Amino acid sequence: MHIELTEMMRCPERHAEGHLVLSTGEMRGRMVRSGLLACPACGREYPVVRGIVKFSGGGMRDAGGVTPDARTHPVEPESLQALLDLGGPGGYVVLLGAATRHAVGLAGLMGGIHFVGVNAPSDLEELPALSLLDCQTMIPLRQTVARAVVVGADSLGVEWLADARRVVLPGRRVVIESDQIPAPAGLTSLAREKGLFVGERR
């Protein structure tokens, strides 16, 4: 995980948002390869293992998705970039589940943006432009910290969609890898095309 991401993360336990405290172990440039995140509110601790933050939490949320291989419309990075409508560099883009596979393609097109993969497929590794967080109960980020969110086809449960809306900035976009789902609460539907739903946070 990128060290500056610490400020954007929250404890996944059901208490008010608060900052986590990072103790770093091994660093590689600005990336934390090993360390420990502690929550001052509830006392829980979360390790960073080979760069991946391992949040735990009671009860696995229903993923509510399909296997990515079932998708019939793989989206090109250029198309996804256009749909995200980000404009300039800077800030964070969240990639949920299988959508983390877009990180390399998007990073090649969009310099200066840091990507945050949540519950990435296990064969993916962190990159200077990609932090990885594992958490089965929520997107462990504070509200309104993301310039955009891409929700993978394996993460279509209503709670994940509500979380995508929670972390994205008002007026910014959530792209969902399904054109079959109803518009999630709080998102204005902008488009359904190429197997994708594109919404904007109200």
Residue type, 51: G
Nearer to Zn ion among residue 86 and residue 167 (C-beta): 167
What is the closest distance, in whole angstroms, from the C-beta atom of residue 38 to Zn ion in the complex?
A: 9
User: Contact with Zn ion (CB under 5 A): which of 3, 38, 41, 124?
Assistant: 41
What is the closest distance, in whole angstroms, from the C-beta atom of residue 189 to Zn ion in the complex?
A: 35
Q: How far apart are CA 30 and CA 20, in angstroms?
A: 18
Stretch of 35-43, 98-106, 150-158, 193-201 contacting Zn ion, by CB under 5 A: 35-43
Cβ atoms of 97 and 142 within 8 Å: the answer is no
Nearer to Zn ion among residue 13 and residue 159 (C-beta): 13
What is the closest distance, in whole angstroms, from the C-beta atom of residue 41 to Zn ion in the complex?
A: 4
39 is a contact residue toward Zn ion (CB under 5 A): yes
Residues 6+ apart with CB under 8 A from 142: 8, 9, 10, 17, 167
What is the closest distance, in whole angstroms, from the C-beta atom of residue 198 to Zn ion in the complex?
A: 34
11 is a contact residue toward Zn ion (CB under 5 A): yes
- Secondary structure of residue 57 in the 3-state scheme: coil
Q: How far apart are CA 55 and CA 77, in angstroms?
A: 29
Q: How far apart are CA 64 and CA 79, in angstroms?
A: 25
Interface of this chain with Zn ion, residues 49 to 108, rule: CB under 5 A: none
What is the closest distance, in whole angstroms, from the C-beta atom of residue 48 to Zn ion in the complex?
A: 16
Stretch of 26-34, 38-46, 50-58, 128-136 contacting Zn ion, by CB under 5 A: 38-46
Identify the helix (H) or strand (E) that includes residue 196: strand 196-201
Stretch of 10-18, 19-27, 154-162, 170-178 contacting Zn ion, by CB under 5 A: 10-18
Total chain residues near Zn ion (CB under 5 A): 5
Residues 6+ apart with CB under 8 A from 70: 153
Q: Which residues bind Zn ion (CB under 5 A)?
A: 11, 13, 39, 41-42
